[in-house]
Homo-oligomer: A and B are copies of this chain.
Amino acid sequence: MKPTIRDVAKRAGVSISTVSRVMNAPDTVTEDKRLRVLEAIEELKYQPNSFARGLIYRKSYTLGLLIPDIENLYYAGIIRGMQDACIKLGYSLMICNTDRDEGRLLAYIDAFHEKQVDGVIFASDKLIPEYYEKLAGYRIPFVLVSSHSYEYEVPSVEVDDEAGAYDAVKFLIELGHRKIAMIGFNDPNSVAGPPRCRGFARALAEAGLEHNSGNIVFASHRFEHAYDAARELFAKYPDTTAVFCVADEFAMGVISYLKDRSILVPGQVSVVGFDNVRMAGMFIPKLTTIAQPMYEMGYRSVEKLHELLATGRVQVTRERLQHRLIVRESTREK
């Protein structure tokens, strides 16, 4: 049987309030009693029951996280940042993988409500009304990571997707490429998808290459689909010399396809990725990519949620962190 506050009190020869005080307001209790209580706590390995505390404080010090795909390295980086922030701020984190399944996501929100999480972090997926209503109906505060919402006033932290895409494509243009194509997200709920297409188009237009801006093939999130998309892309636009991919995993799929067709990367075709997942530097060739500060994004999103919980509001609603171009081996001058 787990020891309770009563056991500690008995052992230390004091009342339960005194025990409670040494835990919550140590300086209101005399030295000797405090020491005795501390000793009893130590001996019994006592830890206050968080159910009882939760009942009183109405706080669980637990945060919920909803991510689309835990096998995607992008989220692994974000999670590390979140966990460190949680440790700093005294929260536990409940990570739930939705597998991009709407029903599953909704069920997790129910679970969060039941477990009384203090707040939730919603990653990447588009905040459709159904999700919003449910969260709002339960009055669960939440923030968005690598996503944002203009319909609703929800705090978010992300990267500037349009600018990231623009920088990637501009880099390709500066390398001398003139036949540039793109692999985008075909997920209609992708929030990063449209701005990255716009960034692609803007860089192209600026260089007088607007005739390329329709050269986009869409793929859903994984390597295999990007591989297939690459096939389609090179069938449609065979003279392409550079491909901008909206995810590193897409870049790997494209390179893999090219490799199977004995087309050299970067010798004949240059490829740029997006995210800078840990694998990007391990792939052959190492990926040139637009890096997102994943760790920091995770960290900030927890801090932001905490701010929201603590003060009821947030200084800056839509926060953007800096991306940067990392040039490695998958690109070359034309």
Contacts and interface: CB of A to CB of B under 8 A. Distances in A.
Interface of A: 2, 45, 47-52, 54-55, 60, 62, 70-71, 73, 76-77, 79-80, 83, 87, 92-97, 99, 104, 107, 110-111, 113-116, 137-139, 223, 249, 252-253, 255-256, 259, 278-279, 281-284
Nearest to A111: B92
Contact of A94 (B76, B93, B259): B93
29 contacts: A47-B113, A47-B138, A49-B55, A50-B114, A50-B115, A50-B116, A51-B52, A51-B55, A51-B60, A52-B55, A55-B55, A70-B79, A71-B77, A73-B73, A76-B76, A80-B97, A83-B96, A87-B104, A92-B94, A92-B115, A223-B281, A223-B282, A252-B282, A255-B284, A256-B282, A259-B284, A283-B283, A283-B284, A284-B284
Chain copies in complex: 2
A40 B187 CA distance: 38
A60 B60 CA distance: 12
Contacts of A50: 114-116
Given A45-B137, A92-B94, A278 B115 contact: no
10 nearest A-B pairs in the assembled complex, by CB-CB distance: A51-B54, A71-B76, A51-B55, A95-B95, A51-B51, A223-B282, A47-B114, A70-B76, A284-B284, A50-B114
A110 B47 contact: yes
Contacts of A137: 45
A80 B76 contact: no
Nearest to A255: B284
Nearest to A117: B92
Nearest to A98: B83
Contacts of A252: 282
